Amino acid sequence: GAVVSQHPSRVICKSGTSVKIECRSLDFQATTMFWYRQFPKQSLMLMATSNEGSKATYEQGVEKDKFLINHASLTLSTLTVTSAHPEDSSFYICSANDSGYEQFFGPGTRLTVL
């Protein structure tokens, strides 16, 4: 099956710093990538949808200036959490779609902001 990687798997940072998370499709070209956030004991909440070479589409309530998404190629999307604060601590998960029905999920990145 298709494989999606995320890096880093876990990050701890101080409040006010920026954190970049990479999402890569390893064996297929991802026409669309999605970024989700999941708080403890809650479901996945879609943050944004990104297509290669175009601006990301953010869901209502998600600050696009705080969560910067870049989809530079068909195999790489990055999420940068700018000026992170403790309330941004969460499990961030990306997924990629190859124009089929299925989304392939990355293993997730656990962000802890002190």
Partner 1 sequence: QKEVEQNSGPLSVPEGAIASLNCTYSDRGSQSFFWYRQYSGKSPELIMFIYSNGDKEDGRFTAQLNKASQYVSLLIRDSQPSDSATYLCAVNIRGSNYKLTFGKGTLLTVNP
Q: List residues binding partner 1 (CB under 8 A).
A: 32, 34, 42-46, 49, 51, 57, 91, 93, 97, 99, 101-103, 105-108, 110
The span from the first CA to the last CA of the chain, in angstroms, equals 37
| Smaller CB separation from partner 1, 49 or 70 | 49
The set of residues, in sequence order, having a beta carbon less than 8 Å from that of 72 and lying 6+ positions away, is 52, 78
- Minimal distance, residue 58 CB to partner 1, in Å: 12
- Minimal distance, residue 76 CB to partner 1, in Å: 18
Structure-derived torsion over alpha carbons of residues 23, 68, 19, 4, reported in degrees to the nearest 10: -10
- Minimal distance, residue 16 CB to partner 1, in Å: 27
